[in-house]
Amino acid sequence: MGTTTIKTDNDLIKYVKNVGESNFKKCFQCGTCSAVCPLSTEDRPFPRKEMIWAGWGLKEQLASDLDPWLCYYCGECSKNCPRKAEPGELMMSLRRFLISAYDWTGISKLLYKSKYAEYIALLIVAVVVFIEWAVLFGFSPASGASLNQLVSPEKIDYFFDWPMTAFLGVVLTSFIYNMYRKTVLSDKSVKIPLKLYFTEGWSLIFNFFTQYRYAKCDDGKEPFYKKLTDGKYNFWLTHLFLMISYVALFVGIVFFLDWFQKENSFPLLHIVLFDYFASIGLMFGTVYFVIKRLTKKIERSKFSHHTDWMFIILLFLTGFTGIILRAAIVYKLPVPWMFYLYLIHLLILFPMLVIEVPFSKWSHLAYRPMGIYFANLKEKAKNLSKQV
Amino acid sequence: MDNNVGVYICSGCDIGKSLNVERLVNTAKDSFKPMVCLSHEAFCGEEGINLIKKDIAEKSVNKVVIAACSMRAKQDVFNFDPLNVHTERVNLREHVIWVSPPNDNNTQLLAEDNIGMGIARAKKAEFPEPLVQELNKTILVIGGGVTGLNSALNAEKAGYSVVLVEKKSNLGGFPYSKYKKWEANPPFDKNILIKNGMDELISGVENSKNIKIYKNSKIKSISGAPGRFNVEIESEGESNKIDNINENIGAIIVATGWKPYDAKKLDYLGYGLTPDILTNVELEELYSDLYQDGKNENFTIKRKSNGENVKSVAFLQCAGSRDENHLPYCSTVCCMSSLKEAALFRKNNPDANVYIIYKDIRTPGEYENFYRKMQDDEGLFLMKGIISDVSFDKGSNIISLKVKDTLFGGDIDLDVDMLVLAAGMVPNSGDFEAGPEVKLGSDNDSAANANGASCAATTTAGLSVLPNKSGILNLTYRQGKEMPDLAYGFPDSNFICFPYESRRTGIYPAGSVRAPMDAVFSVDDAKGAALKAIQCMEQTSRGRAVHPRSNDMTYPFFDLPRCTQCKRCTEECPFGAIDEDEKGTPKPNPERCRRCGVCMGACPVRIISFKNYSPDIIGSMIKSLYIPEDPTDENYRILVFACENDAYPALDILGLNKINLSSNIRVVPVRCLGSINNVWYADALSKGIDGILLLGCKFGDDYQCHFVKGSELASYRMGNLKETLTRLVLEEERVRQIQLEFSDYMKLPEIVDDFVNKIKSLGPNPYKGF
Ligand code: SF4
Ligand code: SF4
Ligand code: SF4
Ligand code: SF4
């Protein structure tokens, strides 16, 4: 085992304390948390190790740590911690810290520190959208025109969706590169053979689309179906449902906006996938999580940061306005209604995507699978070098 | 002396249902011809007890043998005037009917033997003649620190006069020079200045008319015994004139406190590398100085080396403590004091990071709350680990620590401005090797130690006149000048059973000289010791023993003309009660005696005896036993010497639980296994006893022997006995000693069966019937 050089970063301790409700200073390193954690392993004794790193303000260690991305906040650790130090919540705080650490712009840090900063950021984007809308479409829909004539999908694509997608793509990629640099490149002890990047690629995709590690949160010995009927997988499945709905809609809207604004081109796929499956997923998922956060019955919903609330509320509102808009189209409501509904929808959707995806909670959509991917790479590389 | 024996056999508590009481009465009458022999269905009832009282009054019965329950039961009922009536309790209930099958011949024989032994003993026993005397009842308190002051005040409050001897020129002791103490109550933030807290206590003592104070003084010698100690005090008056004063003292409280472990021995932790590496005590003194400089609590702590503000400090816990090469024990105060000092650091240097490296944090009870509160401090970093290296770089003026076995999963490197070694606690008990520390050892003031080199000269100068062992008490006792240690130089007695006891009757160590403890505990300790001192003086003047044979009015009688001056008694007395003249003849001090009988067991010519306990008395009990000659299983006879303190009660509890025990055994209660005289083995074996089992307390490091050394001595003496047995062509396995705790009573049937079976496998005693 290596030697750790202690460089205490007092600001870091304050920051981590600030962005969550873990009492990590209370930890006396008994190791119970790591022992009960269904995901922690001998080589990666999280969250105990993170508890002491956070307590001692060891920024270098924490910033290069991938383990927070391996934790799904099942809360077993928090439940069993004799000191009520909330190790699970620390892992959550650390994910927030990591999001701000990967973000070289410093915006995330601001958003996590202050809810007002978050409000202002969202507002700025909303104002930009508003102005764009005013310039492109004005505020007095001509009577008799169809929605497509008033708000052309092409213009939405060219002036809204695609620039935003490009922006998200570039920013997120640079953040992910930053993450890669901090967590993989900085670690001089492992060299990852190029081949591994490809052979491990499947795990990236697999994890992205199944979030299978969630299922491991319960390490009880019962068979799968028993756990399923006992509701042990509810959280995972709801999360998965929500995520797939969201991704489906995102991809659909960004690349096939036409489908949504006109009535139908592939009616069956359209109705089943978007109108039913994804809409239900979005509504059900968000409401489910809101209820969990309000009732605070399970560990992972006990504490809510302002960014959690903002994220889930915006997501709900986006979905809600989107569905109403879609319903208006399907049920042929008066066009001016649709025109304004459209505007409202965008005023919520864009701030959410532009702010939340790269700079706040939503970035976990990218970081989590990447984290697992990188962790896998490192582990495999280590095993390979051991065999040599 | 008349021997008017009355035997009273109770048939209550089912005794009558399990034994043939009538037969018992007849056998007793036939074999022992007592003056009276009766049975009754409840001698402890009014009618029963009146029968006995009537016999005492009308027939002058003066030896009452009550064959009923255990001697530990109904003591309030069978409490005849001990000076005129000898009461012998024969245990038919707990030791016979509750552990043996009812209406069985072997049970009956057991009961008969027990009654026989009781009558034999009663016949021989004499009445105690207690040593009642007018004695001095002044308490001497040595040491004017927290414990000493509190002891003095408590003793004074109880109405006793006190002589207080303090080494230094001021009262207050060790903590007086320290800055703050911690609060013992949540929320632990009202740290008050120690000086302010102590001044009140000091003035209380100084203003008391019943406390005579000698400052700048030490004890030159102590001789005598409780109630008649003669104490020579060497007092340094003005212009260094030494006065010798004699005081007559009743009992003594030793409250000489502690001193920090010699920091020079902590050089392996970097002590001496730079002035920024200091001990916890030195840090306290630094706080004090800084406070005194500005008379302001808001001072900033600066580095001793260059006067810059301290930005990071590490505390190293257990510096020297819990370490086989230094102090093997936990010094108990350093965890709390480091936390307290860390809190002060955080308050006064808010930008400083404070690291505490510990083996364990030991903050029991309420103190845990303080630890928890401190844990929350963002600038405090606690880490379990073992320091492996301390180095100092002159150029950068940085102290570098290497810590191994940490919970970071490896070693850590840590750079700090200041390093505080939480050095441990060494008792000022005056019992350690000569060396430059000797003077310090007798010195309550740690400043001399802490200031290191500058003080060394005076220290060495003082040394030349000091004896090899430093003199705190300077007893004139045959067994040495100071208190014997229990462990690590602490003159404790038995930590399990009797915390305030000591092995020098009438001399009670209290506070941190007794065991490592903090000021809060020392206050309680002081009260305990004061009560012990008072109890000792009062009991002694009434001619009664103190713990553990409280109220015993007998004491050993030495038939000196027959003494061979073998010195065994003077050497083996666990309490150092017996002095010696030049020729080696023992000079007993009954006031110092605890009535264990160890001297009696030691004496090869059997000249030591108690009025109701002697080689002859127990010998005749053994001789009274009926030994059947027919070698059948039930006729094996095992003699059990059971220590009255633990083993006998354990047998009682076994009875209470109605668990059967072999009926082959005959139990003789003894004051202590150490009181067993080897002649009893001879008595028993020549009588035809097949095996002898000794049941007594644990000995060794965590002994439970109530007389400290008794059970150990018994086992040691058995070594000699075994040679004798071999010479007599008897198997040495016929004698066995078992160490037993009171709570081990469930093991008794197995222990006894095991031994009985062993004896059976050896076959009967070949001397049977000779
Ligand atoms: S269980 Fe709690 S106290 Fe124990 S190591 Fe984990 S966080 Fe620390
Ligand atoms: S929340 Fe669950 S997965 Fe995360 S560290 Fe705790 S026990 Fe492990
Ligand atoms: S009190 Fe703490 S620092 Fe002192 S010896 Fe005990 S464990 Fe070590
Ligand atoms: S009875 Fe015990 S304490 Fe008394 S003198 Fe004998 S050995 Fe010492």
End residue of a domain, out of A76, A102, A128: A102
Q: Measure in Å the smallest separation between the Cα of B422 and chain A Cα atoms.
A: 20
Kindly state whether residues A121 and A162 are assigned to the same domain. yes
Residues of chain B with Cβ-Cβ distance to A52 below 8 Å are 383, 407-408
* pLDDT over 60 (residue B465): no
More confident residue, B494 or B244: B244
* Ligand 4 site, residue B592, Cβ cutoff 6 A: no
- Six-digit token string for A98: 């990591």
In this structure, the number of other CB atoms found within 10 A of the CB of residue A143 comes to 8
* Closest by Cα among B385, B301, B307 to B346: B301
* Closest by Cα among B557, B555, B493 to B528: B493
- Which 3 state secondary structure label does DSSP give A65? coil
* pLDDT over 70 (residue A187): yes
Kindly state whether residues A85 and A179 are assigned to the same domain. no
pLDDT at B443: 34
What is the 3 state secondary structure string of B604-666?
CCCCEEECCECHHHHHHHHHCCCCCCCCCHHHCCEEEEEECCCHHHHHHHHHHCCCCCCCCEE
**CA–CA distance, A383 with A375 (Å, rounded to integer):** 12
Nearest residue in chain A measured CA to CA from B369: A26
pLDDT tens readout for residues A325-340: 888 888 888 888 888 9
pLDDT tens readout for residues A14-30: 999 999 999 999 998 89
Mean pLDDT for B110-133 is 96
Confidence of residue B671 (pLDDT cuts 50, 70, 90): very high
pLDDT at B633: 85
Residues of chain A with Cβ-Cβ distance to B419 below 8 Å are none
Mutate to test the pocket of ligand 2, among A41, A48, A76 (most ligand atoms within 8 A of CB): A76
* pLDDT over 60 (residue B544): yes
- CA dist A54 → A70, A106, B168, B416 (Å): 17, 20, 49, 19
Which residues sit opposite B312 in a β-bridge?
A: B353
- The CA B337 to ligand 3 mean position distance, Å, reads 10
pLDDT at B191: 65
| Local structure of residue B302 (DSSP, 8 states) | B
* pLDDT over 70 (residue B454): no
Pick among B355, B402, B407 to test the A interface (most A CBs inside 10 A): B407
* pLDDT over 90 (residue A348): yes
Q: Measure in Å the smallest separation between the Cα of A101 and chain B Cα atoms.
A: 21
Residues 6+ apart with CB under 8 A from B423: B260, B261, B263, B266, B279, B280, B281, B319, B320, B321, B334
* pLDDT over 60 (residue B496): no
- Would you say residue A2 lies in a domain? no
Residues of A near B (Cβ–Cβ under 8 Å) read 1-6, 8, 10, 13-14, 17, 23, 25-26, 28-29, 45, 48-49, 52-53, 55-56
Name the percent of chain A lying above pLDDT 90. 51
pLDDT at B195: 75
Kindly state whether residues A131 and A96 are assigned to the same domain. no
Kindly state whether residues A220 and A273 are assigned to the same domain. yes
End residue of a domain, out of A102, A122, A147: A102
Q: Does the distance separating the beta carbons of B412 and A3 come in below 8 Å?
A: yes
* pLDDT over 90 (residue A259): no
Kindly state whether residues A223 and A256 are assigned to the same domain. yes
Kindly state whether residues A86 and A231 are assigned to the same domain. no
The closest residue, in CA terms, to atom 2 on ligand 1 is A81
Name the percent of chain A lying above pLDDT 70. 97
- The CA A300 to ligand 2 mean position distance, Å, reads 9
**CA–CA distance, B170 with B199 (Å, rounded to integer):** 11
Mean pLDDT for A131-160 is 85
Confidence of residue B445 (pLDDT cuts 50, 70, 90): very low
- Would you say residue A1 lies in a domain? no
pLDDT at B367: 86
**CA–CA distance, A276 with A139 (Å, rounded to integer):** 31
- Would you say residue A3 lies in a domain? no
Backbone angles phi, psi at B736, to 5 degrees: -140, 140
pLDDT at B441: 29
* pLDDT over 80 (residue B386): yes
Looking at the CA of residue B610, tell me the nearest atom of ligand 4. 1
* pLDDT over 50 (residue B438): no
- CA dist B745 → A313, B239, B742 (Å): 70, 66, 6
Backbone angles phi, psi at B405, to 5 degrees: 55, 40
**Among the listed ranges A31-35, B285-289, B583-587, which one has the minimum average pLDDT value?**
B285-289
Residues of chain A with Cβ-Cβ distance to B376 below 8 Å are 23, 25-26
Q: Which domains does chain B have, with CATH numbers?
A: 1-127 (3.40.50), 139-257+428-433+468-541 (3.50.50.60), 261-423 (3.50.50.60), 557-602 (3.30.70.20), 614-770 (3.40.50)
pLDDT at A1: 52
Mean pLDDT for A183-208 is 87
pLDDT at B464: 27
Kindly state whether residues A170 and A270 are assigned to the same domain. yes
Nearest residue in chain A measured CA to CA from B350: A10
Pairing relationship of beta strands B251-254 and B139-142 according to DSSP bridges: parallel
Mean pLDDT for B351-375 is 91
How many residues would you count in chain A?
388
Kindly state whether residues A68 and A111 are assigned to the same domain. no
Domain hosting A77: range is 10-102
pLDDT at B560: 96
* pLDDT over 60 (residue B458): no
- Which 3 state secondary structure label does DSSP give B25? helix
Ramachandran region, residue B692 (left: φ > 0; alpha: ψ -120 to 50; beta: rest): beta
pLDDT tens readout for residues A44-60: 889 999 999 999 999 99
pLDDT tens readout for residues B271-295: 999 999 999 999 988 988 888 888 8
pLDDT at A11: 93
**CA–CA distance, B718 with B252 (Å, rounded to integer):** 36
Q: Does the distance separating the beta carbons of A29 and B381 come in below 8 Å?
A: no
**Among the listed ranges B47-61, B492-506, B581-595, which one has the minimum average pLDDT value?**
B492-506
- Would you say residue A261 lies in a domain? yes
pLDDT at B190: 67
The runs of H, that is alpha helices, within A66-114 are 67-70, 76-80, 87-102, 107-113
- Report DSSP letters for B750-762, one per residue: HHHHHHHHHHHHH
Nearest residue in chain A measured CA to CA from B361: A28
Which residues sit opposite A8 in a β-bridge?
A: A58
pLDDT at B436: 34
Confidence of residue B604 (pLDDT cuts 50, 70, 90): very high
Confidence of residue B471 (pLDDT cuts 50, 70, 90): confident
Kindly state whether residues A97 and A147 are assigned to the same domain. no
Q: Does the distance separating the beta carbons of A1 and B414 come in below 8 Å?
A: no
More confident residue, B714 or B178: B714
**CA–CA distance, B224 with B251 (Å, rounded to integer):** 11
Kindly state whether residues A47 and A191 are assigned to the same domain. no
* Ligand 2 site, residue A37, Cβ cutoff 6 A: yes
CA B327 to chain centre: 21
Residues of chain B with Cβ-Cβ distance to A10 below 8 Å are 353, 378-379
pLDDT at A219: 74
In this structure, the number of other CB atoms found within 10 A of the CB of residue B745 comes to 21
Mean pLDDT for A242-257 is 84
* pLDDT over 80 (residue B182): no
* Ligand 2 site, residue A46, Cβ cutoff 6 A: yes
Looking at the CA of residue B578, tell me the nearest atom of ligand 4. 5
pLDDT at B492: 62
Confidence of residue B497 (pLDDT cuts 50, 70, 90): low
Looking at the 3D structure of chain A, how many domains does it have? 2
- Would you say residue A5 lies in a domain? no
Kindly state whether residues A175 and A299 are assigned to the same domain. yes
Kindly state whether residues A93 and A141 are assigned to the same domain. no
How many residues would you count in chain B?
770
pLDDT tens readout for residues B678-713: 999 999 999 999 999 999 999 987 788 989 899 999
pTM metric for this prediction: 0.81
The closest residue, in CA terms, to atom 4 on ligand 3 is B334
Mean pLDDT for B552-556 is 96
End residue of a domain, out of A80, A102, A124: A102
* Residue in B375, B378, B408 nearest the CB of A4: B408
- Would you say residue A79 lies in a domain? yes
pLDDT tens readout for residues B88-106: 999 999 999 999 999 999 9
- Would you say residue A210 lies in a domain? yes
Sign of CA dihedral B169, B171, B174, B175: negative
Mean pLDDT for B725-734 is 88
Instruction: Fill in the amino acid letter for A266.
Output: F
**Among the listed ranges B89-93, B366-370, B608-612, B663-667, which one has the minimum average pLDDT value?**
B366-370
More confident residue, A214 or A265: A214
- Would you say residue A185 lies in a domain? yes
Confidence of residue B449 (pLDDT cuts 50, 70, 90): very low
* Ligand 4 site, residue B201, Cβ cutoff 6 A: no
**Among the listed ranges B346-360, B468-482, B652-666, which one has the minimum average pLDDT value?**
B468-482
